[in-house]
Structure formats: C-alpha cells, structure tokens
Structure 1
Amino acid sequence: MKTQIWVTNPITNEIAFNTQFFAEPGALIPFSVQLPVSVEENIVSIPAGKLHLYPSVLNPHWNESIRISYDTKLTGKAELVLYDLKGRHLAEKVYDQNEIEWQLPKLSSGIYFVRLTNQGKALGTAKLIILK
C-alpha cells in the first residue's frame, strides 16, 4: 500500500519533510523530523524590583494622591497604569523618578490595581483600596 507522509513547519508553513513508501497493511513505521527553530536575540534585561504604594488603602476625604516607588533603577520609558477590577484602563502616568506622587482621578469605593511597565514588560502590580 502506497503511503505518503509530509510535515509542515508551523512557523513558515513550508513542507519540511515529504516522503512516500510502500508499507504492509498494519505495519508500523517509525520516523522522526527535526524542524529548525530560531529565537530572536532581542532580549531586554530589566532589573527585578518591588513596586510600593503608600498608602495602599486610601480615603479620598483626606487625600486623593498616592506615593509610588520602585526599588530598582529603570532605563527607558516606564509607565504606571491604573485598572479597575474588570481590567478597564482608568488612568496612566509616566514614571520617571525613583518615587513619585500621583494625583488620582475621582474613584468610587473599591479595589484597583496599579501596574508598572518598562519597555513593554510588566514589572509589578500593586493593589489599591479606596474607602469612602
């Protein structure tokens, strides 16, 4: 019985292996294929650190700003983004110092998250609770 086997490279969609052979019915014929794989060398090294919020529980009647710090020096553009529990993007701020004070928009009582990103990589997320 004539049998044809071909394997397609999932990255390039090119046929990487193609063969025909005659096998007896029920015969098991093992084969293996090695596909070349490459990894981009565009690796960005970002130092590990910890994101700090103070206060992490905020009462807007007293103050509507928080202090934010990241304990490792960053290079390039860093950005803080405020999200609600549903993942909606509420506000953003450029993070360009070791510690900044962020005047927040008017927020309802609830739980929010502040995420720090640098060069497109998420470095840390901190929880913020608003009590009114």
Structure 2
Amino acid sequence: MRASLLLLAALGAAPTAVVPKTVPNTLPDGPVLVGAGADALARETRRQCPGVPTDRLTPADLLDAEETFRDGLPAAQRQAMDRQLPQDGASGPLRCARSEGGASCPAAAYLEEIAGAGLMPRFVAGLCAPGAVR
C-alpha cells in the first residue's frame, strides 16, 4: 500500500478512496424504445400524466409492467392483444422468437399489441399511478 501511495505521489496524483460501485436508480435520458407502440405510449402519457417519464423506462421495467398488466386482463382482452401481431405459441410475438434475448423486442411488440387492442389508456393509467415510474 505504501509503495502505491509513493507511486501516486511521484506521478502527481492524489490517492482516492475506494468507493463501492452502486447501481444507478435513475433512468437513462431520452426515449428508450421507438416505433408505433412507443409513439402510442408517448401520446397517451402526454394526455394522462405529462410529467411522468414513461419513455425513459428501461425495456426490462416496461416489459415487467406490460406482463403485469396483461396478467390482470380478462381472457378476451388478452386474446385481443394476441391478435394484433403474429404469435409464437407461449413465447409471445413471433418477431421476437429469434431475438438475442433482452427485453427490447418484446417490450416494443407488447406496446403495439396494447395500442392495437385499444388498451393503451388503461395501461398508461397504471404507469401514471404514484411510484410506478421512478
């Protein structure tokens, strides 16, 4: 330790404390997803709760909200969502069946399904609830 401090002093650098890295609790700047579903989400958010940054939800957080929303729907409304895009059995939207993992593809696809089924106002109402988007 003393040798490393001497080296830092010789190089003109000040020793720094070792600070453990923490996971940020803020969302990234700017829109995370693009496409028709993301546009519908942005329009409905501006209408219902313009101060809530739903466009900055991470794809994983958005997918979690979409799945929770979908699970709470009656069977007929879930089927209406499924009819919006070609499906791959239990895997969800067909276009995401061969995606490299991650939440971006299904999150964007489910937004399109929610909008196409006329459920975006109800979905956004849940996101507008206090604490839903932080």
Q: How does the TM-score come out when normalised to structure 2?
A: 0.20
Structure number with greater CO (CA < 8 Å, separation at least 6) is: 2
Name the structure where helix makes up a greater proportion of residues. Answer: 2
Could you say which structure has the higher strand fraction? 1
Q: Which structure has the larger Rg over C-alpha atoms?
A: 1
